[in-house]
Amino acid sequence: MSLLLTFFILLLSMAVMDKKKVEEYFEVMKKAMGFIDASTDVETQSEKHSTQDSSSESEESDSQSEMEQSSAQMQEIVDEINSTQTIESQEVSIEKGKNEFVLDIPSTIMFNDGEYNLTSPEAKRFIGKIARVIRTMPQTFNIEIIGHTDTNRLNSATIPRDEWDISALRSISVVKELIKNRIDPAVLKVSAYGSYHPKSNTSSDNRRVELRFFSQDNQSDILSEENFFDRLE
């Protein structure tokens, strides 16, 4: 009742008030009666989203810059090792993508034919140089070590028995050598594709180990626990 009386008094006073005063009183009444200025709220939300977008873009830009810097350092090592190779098909290469790069290493540089242990001093020095670059990378970087081989079947009674064994064991050997060079095991991942991800029709091209460097900030988990078990229903 008192609020209505106040409003009535305000209406009577309008005749002697200037326009600016009337607008000020209406603003006070709106707040008193619980009205919210929607436009102000929308502007606040818009500014908030704009700030978040800018922050996200800045982080992505920083991550990409760090990726390019690390890739450039790896390229120097690749150029050095390639300068000692006499056969082009045995050269190390780097393939760059968005938020990742892949170091493609022919197996002949690190392993003897049909073997999976890193015994060559040159191979160990090569892994050591890679490890030095890895130690300068941000902790957001992960490395997936991927073993590949060709379609030549081993079919041995002892390990490695087949192409799955040799591709996996070579990947593990590289991981262990990286750990010896003070690389955090938590950022390393072992993968093996056997002969099922060939890069060409040439067997020697397919016998290789890949080191995939990627930022975990940009790595999406496609098979999360929730949607994986949903698929089983």
Q: What is the mean pLDDT of residues 204-209?
A: 92
How far is 184 from 64, CA to CA, in rounded Å? 22
pLDDT in tens, 127-149: 999 999 999 998 889 999 999 99
Residue with the two structure tokens 């190779």: 85
| Domain that residue 89 falls in | 66-218
For the whole model, what pTM was predicted? 0.67
Q: What is the mean pLDDT of residues 142-161?
A: 85
Q: Are strands 141-148 and 188-192 parallel, antiparallel or unpaired?
A: parallel
Per-residue pLDDT at 221:
44
Q: What is the mean pLDDT of residues 78-103?
A: 85
Residue 190 in domain: yes
Q: What share of the chain is helix, strand, coil (3-state, %, to 5)?
A: 55, 15, 30
Classify 23 as helix, strand or coil. Answer: helix
Overall domain count for the chain? 1
- Per-residue exposure over 141-172, b if at least 16 CB sit within 10 Å of its own CB, e if not: bbbbbbbbbbeeeeeeeeebeebbbbbbbbbe
DSSP state of 111: -
**Average pLDDT along the chain:** 79
Report the CATH number at residue 129. Answer: 3.30.1330.60
Q: What is the mean pLDDT of residues 95-123?
A: 92
Residue 74 in domain: yes
Highest mean pLDDT among 79-83, 168-172, 217-221: 168-172
Residue 14 in domain: no
How far is 207 from 6, CA to CA, in rounded Å? 88
pLDDT-based confidence at residue 191 (cuts at 50, 70, 90): very high
Residue 53 in domain: no
Q: Tell me the C-alpha to C-alpha distance, in Å, between residue 117 and each of 38, 60, 85, 183.
A: 69, 38, 21, 19
Residues 6+ apart with CB under 8 A from 124: 118, 177
Residue 171 in domain: yes
Per-residue pLDDT at 10:
58
Residue 12 in domain: no
Backbone angles phi and psi of 75, in degrees to 5 = -60, -35
Residue 126 in domain: yes
pLDDT in tens, 15-72: 555 566 656 656 765 665 555 455 555 555 656 555 555 555 555 666 677 888 888 8
Residue 7 in domain: no
- The token pair at 122 is 């040159």
Q: What is the mean pLDDT of residues 194-198?
A: 94
Residues 6+ apart with CB under 8 A from 129: 77, 80
